[in-house]
Structure 1
Amino acid sequence: MEKSGGGSQVLMLGVCVAAIYAAYITQGVVQENVSTKRYGEKGERFEQLTFLNLAQSVVCFVWSMLMLQLWPNKKGSQAPVTAFWSPGISNAIGPACGIVALKYISYPAQVLAKSSKMIPVMFIGALVYGVRYTLPEYLCTFLVAGGVSIFALFKSSKKVVSKLANPNAPLGYALCFLNLGLDGFTNATQDAITKKYPKTNAWHIMMGMNLWGSIYMSLFMFGWPSGGGWEAVKFLQEHPAAAWDIFLFCLCGAVGQNFIFLTISRFGALTNTTITTTRKFVSILVSAIWNGNRLSSQQWAGVFMVFSGLMYQIYLKWRKRKRSD
Structure 2
Amino acid sequence: MTFLRLGLCIVGVYSMFLLWAIAQERLSVPFPSIDGETSDKFRSPLFMGTCQSAMSTLSALIYLFIRRKSGQSLPQLLGLELTPSKSASNGTAASNGSANSTYNGTTHTNGHSHAHPLAKSSARFSPVSLLLRYLQCAVFITSAAPFGFAALSYITYPAMVLGKSCKLVPVMFMNVLLYRRKFAAHKYVVVAMVTAGITMFMGFGKEKPGKPGSLKNGNGELSMYTQLIGLTYLLVNLLVDGATNSTQDEIFARYKVTGQQMMFWINCFSTLLTSSISILPLPYIPVLHPNASGTELQGALEFITEHPSVVMSLAQFAFTGALGQLFIFETLQHFGSLTLVTITLTRKLFTMLLSVVVYKHTLTPGQWAGAGVVFAGISVEAWVKRKDVHAKRVIQEKEKAKLKTL
- Equivalent residue, structure 1, for 2:312: 244
1:18 paired to 2:76: no
1:91 paired to 2:141: yes
Indicate the SS of the match to 1:318.
Answer: helix
Distance 2:304 2:315 in 1: 11
- Equivalent residue, structure 2, for 1:5: none
CA 124–59 in structure 1, closer or farther in 2 if over 3 Å, else same: closer
CA 122–65 in structure 1, closer or farther in 2 if over 3 Å, else same: closer
Cα deviation, residue 133, structure 1 = 3.1
CA contact (8 A) 2:174 2:243 kept: no
Distance 1:296 1:238 in 2: 38
1:170 paired to 2:220: no
Q: Which amino acid aligns with 1:280?
A: K
Offset from partner CA, 1:61-107 (integer Å, 9 cap, x none): 12222223333255683134734111111122223321221122111
Pair member with larger Rg? 2
1:299 paired to 2:330: no
Tell me the matched-pair count: 314
- Equivalent residue, structure 2, for 1:106: 156
Indicate the SS of the match to 1:259.
Answer: helix
Cα deviation, residue 280, structure 1 = 0.6
- Equivalent residue, structure 1, for 2:41: 45
Distance 2:147 2:26 in 1: 17
Unaligned ranges ≥5, structure 2: 81-126, 216-221, 284-288, 290-295, 394-406
CA 124–68 in structure 1, closer or farther in 2 if over 3 Å, else same: closer
1:131 paired to 2:193: no
Distance 2:18 2:263 in 1: 21
1:70-219 matches, within 5 Å, as 70-72=66-68, 77=76, 78-79=79-80, 80=127, 82-83=131-132, 84-123=134-173, 129=180, 131=182, 133-134=184-185, 136-157=186-207, 160-162=208-210, 168-198=226-256, 200-219=257-276
- Equivalent residue, structure 2, for 1:274: 342
CA contact (8 A) 2:171 2:246 kept: no
Indicate the SS of the match to 2:43.
Answer: coil
Cα deviation, residue 300, structure 1 = 0.9
Cα deviation, residue 10, structure 1 = 1.8
- Equivalent residue, structure 2, for 1:315: 383
Indicate the SS of the match to 2:68.
Answer: coil
Indicate the SS of the match to 1:240.
Answer: coil
CA 208–89 in structure 1, closer or farther in 2 if over 3 Å, else same: same
TM-score, scaled relative to structure 2: 0.71
1:60 paired to 2:59: no
Distance 2:320 2:159 in 1: 21
1:285 paired to 2:353: yes
Unaligned ranges ≥5, structure 1: 1-7
TM-score, scaled relative to structure 1: 0.88
Cα deviation, residue 182, structure 1 = 1.8
Cα deviation, residue 197, structure 1 = 3.1
Alpha-carbon RMSD: 2.4
